[in-house]
């Protein structure tokens, strides 16, 4: 409340050009029943050539106690393509202890959520469309948006954060970044080191990481899951040939797609579905992100191997390929990755990364077909500066895209960092076990070492053995 009252009185002179905050107003966003504060800020479309502007949506969840600290926590969502407002449901769970004494600020990154979302809605037949049909729809949508995609970079988004900080009247801030948000948080800290009190990075993207090149990490996560099933007496008894079944499915679909006729999981109407290698591998990779979701994978693989594809198709439809109603902004994702990552994906890196992995070159190079349509210039890679602010790095040992080794690579460019690893965690571990308490402890004393033995008490979810769901 304090910061929003200040924001309503600010003028252009109080922040970078075009940072004029409209008075905050009460708002209700999906994921919470309480009233929050929302406002819009005009930020330069191009921070290097001020002129045209875009409207940025900002949500503030005021601290629950009147004696709030002056250093808020800014939340940066992942993707790229997720919006800060997508994290609202975490306010009363993961960040409840932090919010007791600090304002929490959520920014819908340019091109996401309520900040001019770059949106490609799924077609009417998205769940049964072929790969070529999906690609054509996405290309047509990208062309139809008619946007200057080269201005939707990590650097431009980082400069937006500084506009928000100044407009709300905050001094130094704390920043939590999850997944891609960890890259954005690092970029902001390097651009504005005097504005950052501390960083909390969950699912850490290393500065030199080429995001599409994730085959090695994906295979490591799958191997760990298969081993856990083999080591679990009940899972091993239910699925004794799990690895060979997966290998057989992958090999079969690599040769040719499988045409399926089965009841639609939602309507029960008979429909035809083409299960391609691309769809199969993509679904498996997506499932591995969540430690809880991944415990369903042995059942899904075994069922598919026995030609009972309905459970696998139902799960595949949750994250069907290029777009999803109400989901992340795919064109924003492409704007960032096609400019900052794909140009660094050399043939040598691709060959090294995919060697021995179920995630092969066709899946990884798929994004290149859309990058051609985006037509954004490459953003040159620069050797990162050392981050002086205290940093808390968090990783899940079973993360298929940003495992602990990525956090360690990022740590080389940090002066004061500590790294917590959840052995039974996947991608994003902030909500797990005692981690919310550790977040609050770190923010209160960023320079002090954390006692994190409690993370070893976080159990692994049980495996799903049949259609009834996970074991009790």
The topology under which CATH files domain 2-117+148-208+382-457 is Rossmann fold (3.40.50)
Q: What distance in Å separates the CA atoms of residue 154 and residue 186, rounded to the nearest whole number?
A: 10
Secondary structure letter of residue 317 according to DSSP: H
Closest CA to 131 of 363, 289, 296, 299: 363
pLDDT given for residue 11 in this prediction: 28
Q: What distance in Å separates the CA atoms of residue 451 and residue 472, rounded to the nearest whole number?
A: 31
Return the CA Rg of the chain: 22
Backbone phi and psi for residue 404, each to the nearest 5 degrees, phi listed first: -55, -30
pLDDT given for residue 261 in this prediction: 82
- Domain residue limits, the chain: 2-117+148-208+382-457, 215-323+461-470
Condensed to tens digits (0 to 9), the pLDDT of residues 309-365 reads 989 988 887 755 444 446 789 999 999 999 999 999 999 999 999 999 999 999 899
pLDDT given for residue 14 in this prediction: 34
Considering Cα of 98, then 102, then 104, then 105, what sign does the dihedral take?
A: negative
How many residues are listed for the chain in this entry? Answer: 472
Alpha carbons within 13 angstroms on the beta-carbon side of residue 254 total: 13
Name residues of the chain where pLDDT drops below 70.
Answer: 1-23, 122-129, 264-268, 319-326, 471-472
pLDDT given for residue 74 in this prediction: 98
**Exposed / middle / buried, residue 14 (Cβ in 10 Å: 0-12, 13-18, 19+):** middle
Task: Give the DSSP H/E element, type plus range, for residue 270.
Answer: strand 270-275
């Amino acid at each position: 409340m304090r910061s929003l009252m200040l924001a309503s009185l600010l003028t252009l002179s109080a922040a970078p050009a075009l940072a004029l905050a409209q008075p905050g107003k009460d708002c209700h966003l999906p994921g919470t029943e309480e009233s929050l504060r929302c406002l819009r800020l005009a930020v330069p479309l191009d921070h290097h050539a001020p002129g045209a502007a875009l409207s940025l949506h900002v949500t503030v969840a005021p601290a629950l106690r009147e004696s709030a600290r002056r250093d808020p926590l800014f939340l940066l969502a992942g993707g790229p393509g997720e919006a800060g407002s997508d994290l609202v449901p975490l306010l009363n769970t993961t960040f409840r202890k932090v919010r007791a004494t600090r304002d929490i600020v959520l920014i819908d990154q340019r091109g996401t959520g309520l900040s001019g979302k770059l949106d490609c809605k799924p077609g009417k037949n998205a769940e049964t469309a072929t790969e070529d049909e999906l690609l054509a729809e996405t290309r047509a949508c990208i062309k139809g948006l008619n946007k200057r995609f080269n201005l939707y970079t990590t650097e431009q988004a980082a400069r937006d954060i500084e506009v928000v900080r100044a407009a709300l009247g905050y001094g130094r801030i704390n920043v939590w970044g999850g997944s891609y948000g960890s890259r954005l948080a690092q970029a902001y800290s390097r651009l504005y080191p005097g504005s950052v009190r501390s960083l909390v990075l969950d699912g850490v993207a290393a500065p030199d990481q080429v995001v599409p090149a994730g085959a090695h990490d994906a295979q490591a996560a799958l191997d760990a899951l298969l081993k856990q099933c083999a080591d679990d007496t009940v899972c091993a008894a239910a699925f004794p040939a799990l690895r060979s079944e997966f290998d057989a499915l992958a090999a079969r679909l690599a040769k040719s797609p499988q045409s399926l006729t089965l009841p639609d999981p939602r309507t029960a109407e008979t429909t035809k579905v083409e299960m391609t290698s691309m769809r199969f591998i993509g679904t498996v990779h997506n499932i591995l992100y969540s430690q809880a979701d991944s415990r369903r994978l042995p059942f899904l693989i075994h069922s598919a191997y026995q030609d009972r594809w309905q459970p696998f198709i139902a799960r595949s439809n949750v994250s069907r390929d290029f777009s999803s109603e109400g989901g992340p902004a795919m064109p924003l994702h492409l704007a960032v990755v096609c400019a900052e990552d794909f140009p660094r994906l050399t043939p040598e890196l691709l060959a090294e990364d995919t060697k021995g992995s179920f995630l092969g070159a066709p899946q990884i190079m798929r994004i290149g077909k859309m990058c051609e349509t985006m037509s954004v210039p490459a953003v040159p890679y620069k050797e990162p500066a050392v981050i002086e602010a205290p940093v808390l790095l968090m990783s899940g040992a079973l993360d298929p895209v940003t495992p602990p080794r990525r956090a360690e690579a990022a740590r080389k460019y940090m002066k004061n960092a500590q790294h917590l690893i959840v052995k039974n965690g996947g991608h994003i571990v902030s909500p797990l076990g005692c981690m919310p308490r550790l977040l609050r402890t770190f923010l209160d004393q960023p320079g002090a070492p954390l006692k994190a033995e409690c993370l070893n008490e976080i159990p692994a979810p049980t495996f799903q053995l049949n259609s009834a769901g996970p074991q009790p």
